[in-house]
Homo-oligomer: A and B are copies of this chain.
């Protein structure tokens, strides 16, 4: 029995374990949504692709993915550039070798990532519905889990250069994304966009006269039940991520869950209202997309906003997803049956933007190795802009000259203690 890790009490470890164990429900929910939004004859194939992708992602991530992702405060390869050091990839041994499964944040992160990488691998399946071969989707899952995802996740969660932006250029806390709006969803959503590009639309989707008849999902019960399961998975994902990657205490997951629920609710209601006004009847598929879009955006913001702000963020996510689905389908002729590009890429980018616009930080954020960063409170428009900049356009400039609001000084570190 290992001794408790300093600064990470056993209560936080057990809470985190429990949150991590909920995450596969997000994968189950997304699988059902993908299966329900496709055609009936390919539903079983879709679930088979989901199970296979999850399996391959887990095995490949175990083999080499974690070695390249790593964790804050563990070894990485560093580039020296313009006088500053940039950590661009981790340097762990393969096969989880040397990892002590002792309840440390690093070991919990390894377990969490096995599920997160599977979730990311499921996202392109929705876009490739009805036409993606099993072998190709498995190869895509392997590349995502073995290289693309670990690299980007290292930059954000592993103490890499995006997380270092704050310290290196004084850009506030650097790039913050506790639940993976960017690492899981933008990565998965852009991969989905590439897949639709390569596969082209389904036969009969775009006729020569430019009409694009909607091919409705075959099973609304699967889709909407999947939404409910995904909600539980997201509670786990956002809570575990906030504890492991941004130093939240277990008690703060109450706020996280409330925000997550409200964002899903408002995302779905906004989509229902918009489609109700435009088509005379709320559309179930787009409401489901709005629900998941709200969840995706919540991953970045849930720990740092108050519930009233979560409602605004969720409503905007629902509206963005609704219009984006139509825009991709009709303007760009991207045939994306699951709406994966809109839900995950657009929803994720909105989440990253929203954390810059809305987030208030009430304590040090532990996203760079060992160093609790100084706190910058929310409020002034200049700070908002700088924070958006830090999350999106790191080259825009420093915000280190902004004064610290005194109310945020002297807070205790984030983790709970018994």
Contacts and interface: CB of A to CB of B under 8 A. Distances in A.
Interface string A258-302: 100110111011001000000000101001100100000000000
Interface in A93-121: 95-96, 101-103, 107-108, 110-111, 114-115
A101 B258 contact: yes
Nearest to A51: B224
Stoichiometry (number of copies) = 3
A318 to B, nearest CB: 10
B254 A224 contact: no
A232 interface: yes
Main secondary structure of the interface of A (DSSP, over half): helix
Given A44-B221, A47-B221, A251-B103, A269 B55 contact: yes
B225 A47 contact: yes
Given A18-B18, A31-B224, A101-B255, 5 more contacts: A10-B250, A27-B228, A32-B221, A52-B269, A54-B228
A355 interface: no
Contacts of A250: 10, 13-14, 17, 103
Contact of A62 (B1, B236, B254, B307): B307
A265 B17 contact: no
A287 B51 contact: yes
A18 B108 CA distance: 17
A371 interface: no
A41 to B, nearest CB: 11
Contacts of A48: 220, 224, 282, 284, 287
Nearest to A229: B28
Interface of A: 1-2, 10-11, 13-15, 17-18, 20-22, 24-25, 27-28, 31-32, 35, 43-45, 47-48, 50-52, 54-56, 58-59, 62, 95-96, 101-103, 107-108, 110-111, 114-115, 134, 219-225, 227-229, 231-232, 235-236, 249-255, 257-258, 261-262, 264-266, 268-269, 272, 282, 284, 287-288, 291, 306-308, 311, 363, 411-418
A301 to B, nearest CB: 15
10 contacts: A17-B253, A21-B232, A47-B223, A51-B228, A51-B291, A56-B269, A58-B261, A59-B311, A62-B307, A114-B261
A35 to B, nearest CB: 6
B55 A265 contact: yes
Contacts of A52: 268-269, 272, 282, 287
Contacts of A114: 258, 261
A96 B258 contact: yes
Contact of A219 (B44, B50, B415, B418): B44
Contacts of A43: 220-221
Given A22-B21, A55-B264, A2 B251 contact: yes
B221 A222 contact: yes
Contacts of A111: 254, 257-258
A254 B108 contact: yes
A11, A54, A254, A412: most-surrounded residue (chain B CB, <10 A): A254
Contacts of A45: 220, 284
B1 A417 contact: yes
Given A56-B269, A221-B43, A257-B21, A227 B14 contact: no
